[in-house]
Structure 1
Amino acid sequence: MATKRQPTLHPTKHPLSENTRGAMVELLQTHLATALDLTYQTKQAHWNVKGMNFIAVHKLFDELHETAEEYVDSIAERLTALGGQAKGTVQAASENSILEPYPLDLVDSEAHLRRLSDSYAVWSKALMAAISEASEAGDDLTEDLITEVGRGIDEALYFLESHFQVVKTD
């Protein structure tokens, strides 16, 4: 089994050890790619949604896209502050995202809502694991950033799922 190689880091006076910074850069790189992917999955839905509730869902997708873009910037800036090189191209995102590719033929608003909720749920679970990883590494600031992103992703998941969740009463 090949050993995972730490990324080359730019020189910095950052107080975290080089090993910790390297591990956090790798962690953040995965989440940068995922944030970029989610940003464009959400925009894909925004551009192509159709249905009776079009305007509300269209606006929701645009708001979720803007919020995800903020996460992209925050994650990339933390990654570079640790001495890493942010890999923020569409190609890098497609190679490193944890998300399944978004179907390009979706139109129906409920189909978009359900599919985006799948992506948001996958990232939410990965963010929870990343919080633990950053905590164990002793990187409180990365842990805090990922916690903030996780809160936002969980809220977005709630907004998406609320369109199709129905409580059954007896």
Structure 2
Amino acid sequence: MAKSKPGKLHGTRNDLGANARETSVSVLNAVLADSIDLTNAARMAHWTVRGAQFAALHELFGTFYDDLAAVTDDIAERVVQLGGTPEGTTQAVGERSRLPAYPAGLRAGMDHVTALADRYAMLAKAVRAGIDATDEAGDADTADLLTGYSRTLDKALWMLEAHLEGA
């Protein structure tokens, strides 16, 4: 699982110091790759889920990828605000995502729930580490963005784990 490499920052009038901006861009690009990967995993689950809970899970997974897409846009835009370049191409995501590859052959609803829960937990942990890193670097706004994202991830994880209880 490759980590994002810090790139050259573009000029900006943003008054954060270069270290804070470089740290935040690096953290954000790593989270961006993971988030796009998780978005695609949620889409795959949405498209391929089967079983007794099809309707509920199909709708839930659709909600997940809509929520992820919105925050992914915020993350990429924050990278640009800090003078960086978002690394969100398919190739960059494939190279940089820290999440394990989503199993393409899953069909059963609870198998998708388990696979997504594992990945949501991993990303939530990485986002919390990013909160600490960006806060320590002096970028309270990026830490705040990631804090909101952490709550979104935790809520989705809770919903997934609720489906797994007793399974």
| Band of TM-score, shorter chain | over 0.9
Structure 2 gaps, min length 5: none
CA RMSD of aligned residues (A): 1.4
Q: Is the 8 A contact 2:19 2:137 kept in 1?
A: no
TM-score, length basis structure 1:
0.93
Return the alpha-carbon distance in structure 1 between the equivalents of residues 87 and 129 of structure 2. 21
- Partner residue, 2:15: 15
Higher relative contact order (CA 8 A, sep 6+): 2
TM-score, length basis structure 2:
0.95
Q: Is the 8 A contact 2:20 2:134 kept in 1?
A: no
Q: Does 1:70 align with 2:66?
A: no
- Partner residue, 1:159: 159
Structure 1 gaps, min length 5: none
Aligned-pair distance for 1:6? 3.9
Aligned-pair distance for 1:74? 0.5
1:80-133, Cα deviation, whole Å (9 max, x unpaired): 100001111111111111100000000000000000000000001111111111
- Partner residue, 2:36: 36
Mapping 1:21-100, distance limit 5 Å: 21-100=21-100
Larger radius of gyration: 1
Larger mean CA deviation between 151-160 and 87-96 belongs to: 87-96
- Partner residue, 1:148: 148
Q: How many residues align?
A: 164
Runs of 4+ in 1 over 4 A off after TM superposition: none
Return the alpha-carbon distance in structure 2 between the equivalents of residues 159 and 103 of structure 1. 21
Aligned residue identity for 1:134: T
